Amino acid sequence: MAAAAVGFRLVLVLFGGDLHLSSRPEVSTPLTSLRRLAEGYWLKQASMSPYSGSMYHGSPLLLSVLGPLTSKRSGGHHAHIYCSLVFVAVDFIAAMLIRLTGRTLQIARGKSLKSLDLAKSVNDPVNASAGDTASLIYLWNPWTIITCVGSCTSPIENLMVVVMIYGACSRLAPLAAFGYVMATHLSLYPAILILPVTLLLGYGPDTPPAKVFLQKGSSASKVDISDIGKSTSQRGFGQISWKPVLHFMLWVFIWSCYVLVLNSIILNKAGGLQEMFEKTYGFILTVKDLSPNIGVLWYFFAEVFDFFRSFFLIVFNMNIIFMVLPLAIRLRHRPCFLAFVYTAIVGMLKSYPSAGDSALYLGLLGLFANELAEMQFTFFLFFGYIGVSLLSPVMHNLWIWRGTGNANFYFATGLAYTCLQTVLVVETVSSMIKHDRKLRLLIRT
């Protein structure tokens, strides 16, 4: 199935012709557009700052990696093919890392259920492994495919997030630090994933709450109590292992210095690090580009008075931060699931969302197919996402090209999309909490 997904992408890239996906606001944003990257690379080749044209707002590292592939020497169509082939390989690597992450989580889940004597009581409704399910969801998701073929840099950003989660689950501190630094460098929002990564490195992969282990110990004999106590201290949240966490922080510092040095070398005589931060992170936080996308911030800041703009910028940017700590406290025993929740919240509330953000968190959702098997509103969510995917280009065509609609038509689809994501986050969190409560009830019986 993975080979078929890669083959399907190659057919679209080589024989699909120009599908005009790069101009779609659902696929390409001011931060991920390959056309803007080509503009920045042309400015850099002309010994000017890549940010001087107010078009490019991405990383200088992407200019060095993808810039030569977008040059006119390769030809317009051939440049598109070369970049798309890179994105096909990136998608395949991300899917394989998701599969390995799922295997690690499944092994940890089996050990925890076995230590609780619940391996036979908890029947997995999903026959396939969670890693296989998640990787296939990621590869065959239509949004992942159009993001891969649509000439945008979202697949690279998604790969860095997956590398970070895989490195943290495997307790490979250098790899997790590399993914974290690169994901934060390419897009500011993955910085909030520092909490689940720290929990993964300090406590290990997802396990049931510590209360379940304590409850199991209280119902066992005295000999069993000591054994359960040992397993709880090793696997639960009684004691954190600080060595991999400190190792991770050291490697974050090393990779950050390395990335900054590379950026300063690339931008030599063509801008500096201060301009890079202003044109990348500053551009993300101030929402200066109000071109339509599938989010809701562009419409809101197009309508709001300039006098209130700074206030609402603070409100919207702090809205993500306000959710970080409460969710971390409630889901601290499931840090990998916490990373999925944070990724979904970022995809919902970021200033320039795209289909690539949804492709990432929907792929990570498959990692918890067994725990979330009893989730409600799956029928509503499934067809809601399909409806938004079909209506969004229609409303955009009516507004921009036909002239028979207005901005409210397209904004309505973005608002429905945001509501669907909100329902998804609420339902997944509540279903995971119900699953943990079910384990506690099974121990009592």
- Tell me the average confidence (pLDDT) per consecutive run of 10 residues in the chain, 445 residues long: 89 77 86 88 85 85 86 58 86 94 88 73 64 91 90 91 94 94 94 93 82 65 42 50 92 95 83 85 90 90 88 91 91 92 93 92 91 87 92 90 84 93 94 87 74
Q: What angle do CA 127, 374, 2 make, to 5 degrees?
A: 40
Residue found by looking up tokens 């339902």 in the block: 427
Q: Report which of 318, 372, 350 is spatially closest to residue 421, judged by C-alpha positions.
A: 350
Beta bridge partners of 33: 152
Q: Are 81 and 14 in contact (CB under 8 A)?
A: yes
For residues 343 and 348, give the distance between their C-alpha atoms in angstroms, rounded to a whole number: 9
Q: Where are the domains of the chain?
A: 2-283+308-371+423-444
Residues recorded for the chain? 445
CA neighbours within 13 Å on the CB side: how many for 157?
A: 30
Q: Which three-class secondary structure state does DSSP give residue 152?
A: strand
Closest CA to 161 of 93, 109, 60: 93
SS3 state of residue 33: strand
**Per-residue pLDDT, 228:** 41
Cβ 74 vs Cβ 80: under 8 Å: no
For residues 138 and 4, the answer to whether their CB atoms sit within 8 Å is: no
The whole-number pLDDT of residue 231 equals: 41
**What does the block give as tokens for 98?**
């998701």
Structure-block tokens of residue 228: 């359960």
> Which residues touch 203 (CB under 8 Å, ≥6 apart)?
235, 236, 237, 240, 241, 332, 333, 335
Helices 173-186 and 242-266, packing angle to 10 deg: 40
Instruction: Give the model's pLDDT for residue 42.
Output: 87
Other residues' Cβ atoms within 10 Å of the Cβ of residue 256: 15
